[in-house]
Structure 1
Amino acid sequence: MSTSSKVIPQSRVNSLFISYSRRDIGFVKRLDASLREIGIDPWIDWDDIHGAEEWRTAITKGIVGADTFVCIISPDSVESVECGKELEQAIALNKRIVPLLHRKAANIHPTLSKLNWILFRETDDFDAALQTLIEVVNTDLDYVRMHTRLLQRAGEWEGNHREDSYLLRGVDLAASEAWLYQEILRDPHPTELHKNYIAKSREAEDAHNRVVAAGEQAKHM
């Protein structure tokens, strides 16, 4: 199925994936309710069914489709194998990662250690921290949304043996190239898959345009 004639749709709201330990579920439920009140619908795994193929696929799709990966830091999340896997996947996909410190922990992942944390400890002002989180996730929102949409499109292309029908064309391609030119000044940076997808789309578009131009030239000979 070709999507070449459709402009990449705009997301209605910023989407978040929240990675957490079940020991922090009370805090996560409060955070979820507060975000929903302002129109943000986070992706949260409530089921605790680890290991099933369907569950792992759902987690992956949730991370790929999220504009921001929110990591709840606590001693239990730091020690959680599943939280570790989710974080590594977010890092590999160059997702925007926002750490929330809920409970003091040691042995923090190096990537998280380098980022600015939002303090959501019991002694902190929850509403003030929530406002900071909202401001962070809304920063460069158009750029981040494009990162997400292109990653999804590139994933479809990759998953369908890189068929040309999944490549970008026309206004989609022009918008994607303009987005790519911003990468030096913006975070998160594109992945290699982003870059390969846009490059292959440009190659296919140029090849198509050459064929069309040759056909037009032949008509006037």
Structure 2
Amino acid sequence: MNGFQDAFISYGRADSKAFALKLYQHLRDYGLKVWFDFENIPLGVDFQHQHLPTSFQNEFIRESLRQPPATSLNVFISYSRVDSDFVHKLNEALQMQGKTTWFDQESIPADADFQQEIYQGIEASDNFLVVLSPRSINSPYCADEVEYAASLNKRIVTVLHQAVNPADLHPELAKIQWIDFSQNEIDFATNFSQLVRTLDTDREHVSSHTKWSQRALEWQEKGNSQDLLLRGSEFAVAQNWLQTALEQNKQPAPTALQQTFIQESKQAKPVMIKPSNCGIETAPFSRSCQGIKIRLAEWRSVLMGKLLPPPVTIKPLNCGNQTALCWQPWLGIGIR
């Protein structure tokens, strides 16, 4: 097969050959490039094995499937199922622009908790896109999604699919100027360009907003665990983001939870672990500070699954009368 084809015709040989051939000719009349076995497979070729994937393609697909899911997305799409045709077109156009989207018909596994998946999708998305139509603005499900996005201070973007009464809009949507897609076929490209420009505005700030929101939510859900606070360079980056956002009045604004999380991180201390409680093997340890030996097998669970180098002896940096504190950047943990 040379180059790309517009269509591939699959059919059952027993009873569909005549119809498939007629369809093939009809599509060719419209100037489409169509792959049809009688046209594209030379005589004497085993067509059953003609287009099997190569070993390299198989390996590429396997490795792609092993990749973890994206921690953040560009756009969450909130809409009414009545408007599915338009939303499918919009979603495909966004993906063609390289945008990662959360679209319920593609993003929710069959056996998943539907509501939980939606909330997680909103949390992970930089932008919350609402498709406005008479059905969507009166949908309790869409209203719930809007309220949750607003509670996270997500950037909300609205596109008008069908004319609506502004008085019926959710208060969070009423204050936002929509992008008018109601003349779908005529102005779609122009309005879509405006949408992409809106989504691309201040991308670094919006992306960081999502990142620190996710970290703060996890911290809150785990009972404000000290282990989940920010430390080191990560804290410095978050603190700088927060300070810049507040000073420059950036939108979306940081949430109260994000501010509390970053402020609490400022007071965070390195995690301190006592050898007597943690199954470590120490070398003769006295006031002369001979060191601490850490065995990988005994620390695997303590370090939350992080793999360590082979057993090493770490020399304490500060040796007082009874306490030694050692800190290794690669270990990321203090040992007392």
More strand by share: 2
Paired residue for 2:301?
A: none
State whether structure 2 residue 84 is matched by structure 1 residue 25: yes
2 CA distance for matches of 1:57 and 1:89? 12
Q: 1:199 Cα deviation (Å)?
A: 0.7
State whether structure 2 residue 255 is matched by structure 1 residue 191: yes
Native 8 Å contact 1:64 1:151 kept in 2:
yes
Closer/same/farther in 2, CA of residues 21 and 148 from structure 1, 3 Å limit? same
State whether structure 2 residue 264 is matched by structure 1 residue 200: yes
TM-score of the superposed pair, with normalisation by structure 1 = 0.83
- Higher RCO (CA < 8 A, seq sep 6+): 1
Q: In the comparison of the two structures, how many residue pairs are matched?
A: 200
1:59 equivalent among 118, 122, 131: 118
2 CA distance for matches of 1:77 and 1:205? 48
1 CA distance for matches of 2:71 and 2:203? 11
Match of 1:183, SS? helix
More helix by share: 1
1:114 equivalent among 164, 167, 175: 175
Q: Which runs of 5+ in 1 are unaligned?
A: 1-10, 209-214
Query: Rg larger in 1 or in 2?
Result: 2
Paired residue for 2:193?
A: 131
Runs of 4+ in 1 over 3 A off after TM superposition: 11-14, 205-208, 215-219
Closer/same/farther in 2, CA of residues 218 and 13 from structure 1, 3 Å limit? closer
Q: Which runs of 5+ in 2 are unaligned?
A: 1-69, 273-316, 322-336
Native 8 Å contact 1:69 1:90 kept in 2:
yes
State whether structure 2 residue 217 is matched by structure 1 residue 155: yes
List per-residue Cα deviations over 1:13-39 (Å, max 9, x = no partner). 861000000111000000011111111
Q: Percent same amino acid at aligned positions?
A: 35
Native 8 Å contact 1:14 1:138 kept in 2:
no
Paired residue for 1:170?
A: 232
List per-residue Cα deviations over 1:127-173 (Å, max 9, x = no partner). 11111111111111010000001111111111111111111011111
